[in-house]
Amino acid sequence: MAKPLVTLEVGNDGVAVISMSNPPVNALAVPIILGLNEKFLEATRRDDVQAIVLTGKNGRFSGGFDISVMQKVHRTGDASIIPDVSVDLVVNAIEDCKKPVVAAVEGLALGGGLELAMGCHARVVAPKTQLGLPELTLGVIPGFGGTQRLPRLVGLSKAVEMMLSSKPIMSEEGKKLGLVDVIVPSQELLKVSRQWALEIKERRKPWVRSLHSTDKLNSLSESHELLKAARQHAKKTAPNMPQHLACLDVIEEGIVHGGYNGVLKEAKVFKELVASDTCKGLIHVFFAQRTTSKVPNVTDLGLKPRKVTKVAVIGGGLMGSGIATALLLSNTYVILKEINSEYLLKGIKMIEANVHSLVKRGKLAGDKADKVLSMLNGALDYAELRDVDMVIEAVIENVPLKQKIFSEIEKICSPHCILATNTSTIDLNLVGEKTSAQDRIIGAHFFSPAHIMPLLEIVRTDKTSPQAILDLMAIGKSMQKVPVVVGNCTGFAVNRTFFPYNQGAHILVNLGVDLFRIDRVIANFGLPMGPFQLQDLAGYGVALAVGKEFANAFPDRTFKSPLVELLIKSGRNGKNNGKGYYIYEKGSKPKPDPSVMPIIEESRRLTNLMPDGKPINITDQEIVEMILFPIVNEACRVLDEGVVVRASDLDIASVLGMSFPSYRGGIVFWADMVGPKHVYTSLKKWSTIYGNFYKPSNFLEERALKGMSLSAPISSSASRSRM
């Protein structure tokens, strides 16, 4: 028989201990909530129960509401499967219970878990316990009374900060704020909680119903001002996310009309937000990230990752030093290999600067910096790489150079050493062409800056062994990266999918659209910056080199704009020399540079795209679509060719590698929300006017005409698969 999810045990002292058990984090699944309702009702009715303690098993209280319930709502459209926890369980069964209820909290109490604990009459908490309400990161608001109780327990200002930032606090801070009544060692948690509950019963400890407390609330006018400032901040920092403003509205409802009215409004708004596109997108990304760790014919073979303790990084430039930094932070010994002592010293200094920057920003404890850097050694000779478990080559994008490096390290390194390249576009078969170790050749494509960006694109060829892939996945996770396994082609999954991004923007500029307007529109859509500011930041050399790779690989669908070459001729190189599309001055934000206009006019004259020499008339939405729909089109080809295992892998890669807004769910998910038919008909229309760059792919056409979603499972036909 399956063990019960919720148990009730009554001790000789008359205290009923109600325990939740749903490993690993005691998520509040519907059966848990029903079990809690049942056990509280039983404890309330029983004459031998004087007081109640609510706790979680497995060293955790609760990680919150079971998110898969919201995923099920999105699949079925049925919001009635979400139980009314805030009123039925937290208010009536717990807070209004005639017997005192104490929460015995350990490990974590997040989201609905913390809300359950706040509904109790006291909280006895173990040290180093995480407490927080992270619901806004999933597109909803706290839905079990958290918007009402947290302000009453810690004060409005701190409550707003905790909810809007979604950052948890530790129990020690919770004690200072009044969220925690007492901190006790884990081994004494239940004993003290039982005593506390009995002392409340005997009126020796306060019986606090937090929904009715008002002593920590500001005056109405102060609350109004505080919430007004929070709304202004939310509009700036989260302009496309309705849950932030909704949360503040619900908090205000409770302050003005009382906690119970606030709880009723909270439950209503929570259900409305669950049905929003923002919630759908964020929940999709949440599960997409977790699904990346399942790779057919790799993670299902019963293999175990081998231990990797020492890695060599070849090349100490921007990427190499970033990769080395990420490895050092994961407690891995690193040998940085360079061609001469000058370059080696420069690479080591960049790694030191990366580490000290993390200390300065509070991301790394100061006393750990020296230990991290002590694990770094430099080398000028391949002989020093004999005992490494993995090599990551991070030199310039030059095929003969990479081939030479791999044929040399194959002779030196052990036969088990993984041979990885950080190339962003070059075919891996070319890189490993001159070695006999092709089962160990693998792509480890990091995104810049490598010690900060969370995506690791793991590129496999037809010959790469499952063991090498599994090992690199484990290394990526130890580096706090999200590894996504992809197939081998020009640009792999992410850069290949997004290569039309700049080209679409350049078509619009050459059609007469103001480039600064394009940047504004794309930033308003949710990307960190527009395509032209991004080009300034990356440098024009990168734009030309990458553009050339894709023009060679996909000549039938590339647009060659003369604009970047004209900028270089005029002495501009973006942020590198302070002059690009924008002016870059120290201490101030980039400003549009009006002197770039004659160069743009020259580009327009050379491309001759404008009908009758007049700029096209275009809406902001059309700007977004003419830039992003070609990316969707290329994503369809990537799916069709089996470059990724599943569409959600491309979604999470677009969010983590290209900063596509997470609340839009990733590039394929967003296209499905917009509608494949609209994407297809728009591209078809533009292709008749502007040519092959916009020509819809067969995959998109097929799905659009059949009314299928783009993310529906891909045919497993061998002819389509490169995986």
CB contact set of 587 (below 8 Å; sequence gap of 6+): none
Residue 240: other Cβ atoms inside 10 A:
12
Tokens of 198: 């009995």
The residue among 521, 502, 488 whose CA lies nearest residue 618 is 521
- Specify the amino acid at residue 25: V
The alpha-carbon radius of gyration of the chain (Å, integer) is: 29
Angle between helix 341-360 and helix 318-329 axes, rounded to 10 deg: 50
Residues 98/40, Cβ–Cβ less than 8 Å:
no
What 3-state class would DSSP assign to 689?
A: helix
CB contact set of 405 (below 8 Å; sequence gap of 6+): 314, 393, 395
CB contact set of 721 (below 8 Å; sequence gap of 6+): 641, 642
Cα–Cα dist 271/265, whole Å: 10
Question: Cα 324 to the chain's mean position, in Å?
Answer: 22
Cα–Cα dist 603/510, whole Å: 7
Tokens of 73: 């709502």
Cα–Cα dist 243/240, whole Å: 9
Contacts for 348-354: CB closer than 8 Å, 24+ residues apart: 348/316, 348/376, 348/378, 350/316, 350/318, 350/321, 351/316, 351/321, 351/324, 351/325, 351/376, 354/321, 354/322, 354/325, 354/449, 354/451
Tokens of 636: 């369809």
Measured at the CA of 499, the angle between CA 496 and CA 502, to 5 degrees, comes to 165
Per DSSP, 479 falls in state: T
Number of H helices, E strands in the chain: 30, 19
What are the two backbone dihedrals, phi and then psi, of residue 463, each rounded to the nearest 5 degrees? Answer: -100, -10
Tokens of 133: 């309400």
The residue among 555, 559, 558, 577 whose CA lies nearest residue 567 is 577
Helix (H) or strand (E) holding 466: helix 466-478
Alpha-carbon distance values, 429 to 29, 373, 462, 494 (Å):
47, 35, 9, 18
The DSSP bridge pattern shows strands 310-314 and 182-183 to be unpaired
Q: Give catalytic residue positions.
A: 115, 135
Helix (H) or strand (E) holding 196: helix 189-201
